Amino acid sequence: MLGIVTIALTTLCLLHGRFWELIEGRHLIKLSQFGVLLSTYGTLALAVVFAVHWVRFPGDHRGRELLLFSTVALALNATFAMSFPGDMICAMPGLALLSAVVLEAPARHPYLSPSRWLVAVPAVAAVVAAMLVQLARPFDFVYWTEPPVTEARHRSALPALAGLHLSEPTRDTADAIVALVQRASDPGEPLFTFPVYPIFNWLADRPPATFAMLHWFDVTPDRIVDADMVRLRETMPPVIVAQGARDRFVELHERYFRGGAESGFRRMQNGLDAMLRAHYVRAGAWRASEEDPLLRVWIRTDRARARNLLPAKRKQGTTAD
């Protein structure tokens, strides 16, 4: 029954496109953080218990192995938390250890046999639900959402993507953006992509315009983001591929990674918007899915004029409009 309910809720959320609405809710953030804290301190408590047990009974190989596993789980928890401290992935090592301990308990204490079902049923339900999620939404990062895997039936004209089966929106977006970048710039000229699309540097064979390849909250320190914004104003790359983040999305990540303080990401997006309004024209816009913001290609005005790439009606604006 638990498995059926889990699968049904997951499927409904995906079908109605409410995934981000759910995970961005403040109550779910607190629930996620609670799960991480519970797993962290629970794993630490288990490590202490197993360490005491091993000291008292040094010949007990089981106790030594449990101490090893709990230490590894705690280390993995801390490693995951360095990237995304509020995400439930941080709780996975501790939950795996707890599940193993519960499943093994009936072998030593037969009266605990029903406890296996308390772990086995939710575990199977979670695995099945995760498989359905992966099939229905194989990729979802920032503002690039892939449709179900059944739609990956198309081939790209780009040599770098030869042999890959892509969804039609992904194929069309990649081919069009790369073609426009290569028309508007020469080999060796820098291309700036914002915030998380250095793949277009590779696909278009253009070097990055900044020190950091991408400027994301848990990837690039604010001081480097600020320095890269200064570098951008000085170099004014001929082409920029940018996708603005909505205020709600930025605020969510600033709560996670900056304790609510202003991030370098926000400052870069604001600075980039001002630069685009003053010196660039919008040459094209695409999106991976209907729920994602547009991914736009901006060409420096003098370059667009020199290469006859000015749109019939000049389009200015910002990364997010």
Compute the 3-state secondary structure of the chain and give helix, strand, coil in percent, each to the nearest 5: 60, 10, 30
Residue 26 pLDDT = 52
Per-domain residue ranges of the chain: 2-137, 151-306
Distance CA 298, CA 242 (A): 8
Distance CA 104, CA 101 (A): 5
Cβ neighbours, 10 Å, residue 244? 23
Distance CA 40, CA 77 (A): 7
Residue from 192, 193, 229, 226 nearest 209 by CA:
192
Beta bridge partners, 140, equal 145
Q: What confidence tens digit (pLDDT) does each residue in 87-121 have?
A: 667 777 877 787 777 777 777 777 777 777 777 78
Percent of the chain with pLDDT over 70: 84
The backbone torsions φ and ψ at residue 195, rounded to the nearest 5 degrees and listed phi first, read -95, -25
Whole-model pTM over 0.85 = no
Q: What confidence tens digit (pLDDT) does each residue in 265-279 have?
A: 999 999 999 999 999
The backbone torsions φ and ψ at residue 281, rounded to the nearest 5 degrees and listed phi first, read -120, 145
Residue 50 pLDDT = 84
Look at 138 and 321; give whichever has higher pLDDT: 138
End-to-end CA distance of the chain: 45
Look at 40 and 32; give whichever has higher pLDDT: 40
Distance CA 225, CA 294 (A): 23
